[in-house]
Copies of this chain bind each other. A is one copy, B any other.
Amino acid sequence: MVNEMLKRETKRAELRERIIAAAEAELIEKGLSGLKARDITSRAGCALGALYNVFDDLDMLVLELNSRTLADLGNALSSSVPVESSSGRQVLQALAAAYTDFARDHQHRWMALFEHRLPEGKYKPEEYRMEQTVLIDAIVPSLKELWPELSKETLAMRARTTFAAVHGVVLLSLQQQFVGVPLKELKSEVEALVELLSRQ
């Protein structure tokens, strides 16, 4: 019957969501290196093997978590840009500040975006790669406004560089090890950096 078939797919989807929710909770609490299949499944209230009925392996589950984090991050960035008719510099400052806030407020989820590596020979699906470009695309318009003479290609490159520079400052600061900016000064240093990067 159609009804029962629907029930089957629904149950499967519900299990999938339960596992994802449990995994996300574990990620938030313990970070990527603390994510264990047994902890996830016991939190989700299912057997260990159930995880492998829904996902190929843990890596694919992490990719799903990272997808969601990227979406949230994208939304945080979008909703941070000030009202229309603000300067490119102002938009860049807003984006950088929102990025810094997101990283600080969702540290483990944000860190997982960069810590996670696929084993030798396996590559992330094209779909996932696409989602990532949102971060870059948000920057391009402001850069174009600041340097209208630059080519599309150069702008795309400069956007990656701008993102990576801000990212580096936030990363080393939040990692707290290594020579990073102290957390107290992080926001002001990011602001100073973006100021330099948006000077014409």
The reply on A71 being an interface residue by CB < 8 A is no
> Is there an interface contact between B132 and A160, defined as CB atoms closer than 8 Å?
no
Q: How far is the CB of A178 from chain B (nearest CB, A)?
A: 6
Q: How far is the CB of A116 from chain B (nearest CB, A)?
A: 9
A132 to B197, CA, bound (A): 26
The reply on A157 being an interface residue by CB < 8 A is yes
> Is there an interface contact between B179 and A169, defined as CB atoms closer than 8 Å?
no
Residue from B160, B172, B175, B181 within 8 A of A179 (CB atoms): B160
Residue from B114, B115, B161, B175 within 8 A of A181 (CB atoms): B161
This chain: copies in complex: 2
Residue from B115, B135, B136, B169 within 8 A of A164 (CB atoms): B169
The reply on A165 being an interface residue by CB < 8 A is yes
The reply on A177 being an interface residue by CB < 8 A is yes
By size class, the interface of chain A is 35 or more
Residue from B177, B193, B196 within 8 A of A124 (CB atoms): B177
The reply on A149 being an interface residue by CB < 8 A is no
Q: Mark A163-178, 1 if CB is under 8 A from B, else 0.
A: 1111111011101011
The reply on A48 being an interface residue by CB < 8 A is no
The reply on A33 being an interface residue by CB < 8 A is yes
Q: How far is the CB of A158 from chain B (nearest CB, A)?
A: 7
A115 to B116, CA, bound (A): 10
Report chain B residues within 8 Å CB of A132: 178-179
CB<8 Å pairs between A and B, sample of 28: A33-B117, A114-B175, A114-B178, A115-B115, A124-B177, A132-B178, A132-B179, A135-B179, A136-B179, A157-B181, A160-B172, A160-B180, A161-B169, A161-B192, A163-B172, A164-B168, A164-B171, A164-B173, A164-B179, A165-B168, A165-B169, A165-B193, A167-B168, A168-B169, A168-B171, A171-B171, A196-B199, A199-B199
